[in-house]
């Protein structure tokens, strides 16, 4: 697991690409924990996904941790349409516009990471078109279990229940046992978070969120 000092050092380096350091420390810990859990359960963690990327700071933080703690082939997939795409949030107070300037910022910071892949598209397109057709090679061999390769998913795109549910149900079939599914702004999409917690198909066990109602994270078991 990543140490607090290491988290702080990464935050200090990348904070200008985020909306503030405090909001990133917890997802960084979750990500590190997900890598540890999936590897303890024998899974070959090869990827993580952040949906809703904005300025790229958090994806870059995941890239930093992956370089320290994940296998060489591990990729951080960052999904966002940018370009001022309609952004669905439960209240007009949260209806921001994320335009090309944010894309430029994200591209600039993530260009420095060989383990980053940008998907300039909506989460809906990513989960319905990209994930089902994804093929993955390692040392010249197509990963036989490529259906399950994600150790971590962080949902921070549109915050309405239907979007969050579609994203969660879209990524779960690709997640390894022990993987972590995290939902930002969980208090905006309580219905989706409650439905996920109650799911019998996916055993999702809620865990430590530092007492922050804004965020939820689940460990996923098959
Ligand atoms: C709150 S910001 C993400 C912040 C980022 N996770 C961070 O921690 O710095 C929300 C992002 O969701 C993106 N977004 C909007 N519609 C989307 C969609 N349909 N699919 C994926 N992302 C979307 C926006 O462009 C915006 O960049």
Average pLDDT of the segment spanning 39-57: 91
pLDDT digits (tens, 9 = 90+) for 1-14: 899 999 999 999 99
For residue 115, the model assigns a pLDDT of 97
**Residue with CA at minimum distance from ligand 1 atom 5:** 53
Cβ(57) to ligand 1 under 6 A? yes
Strands 137-138 and 141-142: antiparallel
pLDDT at residue 109, rounded to an integer: 97
Q: Could you tell me which residues come within 8 angstroms of residue 40 by beta carbon, excluding any fewer than 6 positions away?
A: 178
Residue 70 is given by DSSP the state S
Domains and CATH numbers, the chain: 4-221 (3.40.50.150)
Please give the distance, rounded to the nearest whole angstrom, from the Cα atom of residue 54 to the centre of ligand 1.
Answer: 5
**Whether the CB of 15 sits within 6 Å of ligand 1:** no
* CB of 123 shorter than 6 A to ligand 1: yes
What pLDDT, in 10s, does the model give residues 160-186? 999 999 999 999 999 999 999 999 888
Q: How much distance in Å is there from the Cα of 64 to the middle of ligand 1?
A: 20
Q: What pTM value is reported for the model?
A: 0.94
What is the radius of gyration, based on Cα positions, of the chain? 16
């Amino acid at each position: 697991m990543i140490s607090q000092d290491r988290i702080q050092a990464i935050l200090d380096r990348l904070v200008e690409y985020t909306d503030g350091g405090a909001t990133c420390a917890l997802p960084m810990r979750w990500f590190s924990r997900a890598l540890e859990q999936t590897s303890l359960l024998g899974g070959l963690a090869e990827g993580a996904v952040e949906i809703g990327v904005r300025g790229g700071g958090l994806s870059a933080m995941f890239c930093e941790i992956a370089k320290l703690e994940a296998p060489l082939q591990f990729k951080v997939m960052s999904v966002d349409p940018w370009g001022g795409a309609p952004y669905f949030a439960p209240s007009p107070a949260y209806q921001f516009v994320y335009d090309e300037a944010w894309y430029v910022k994200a591209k600039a910071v993530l260009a420095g990471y060989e383990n980053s892949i940008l998907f300039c598209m909506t989460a809906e397109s990513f989960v319905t078109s990209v994930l089902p057709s994804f093929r993955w090679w390692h040392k010249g061999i197509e990963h036989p279990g490529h259906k399950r390769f994600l150790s971590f998913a962080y949902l921070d795109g549109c915050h309405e229940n239907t979007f969050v549910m579609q994203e969660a149900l879209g990524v779960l079939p690709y997640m390894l046992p022990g993987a972590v599914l995290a939902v930002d702004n969980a208090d905006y999409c309580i219905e989706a978070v409650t439905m996920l917690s109650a799911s019998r198909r996916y055993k999702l066990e809620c865990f430590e969120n530092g007492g922050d109602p804004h965020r939820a994270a689940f460990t996923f078991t098959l």
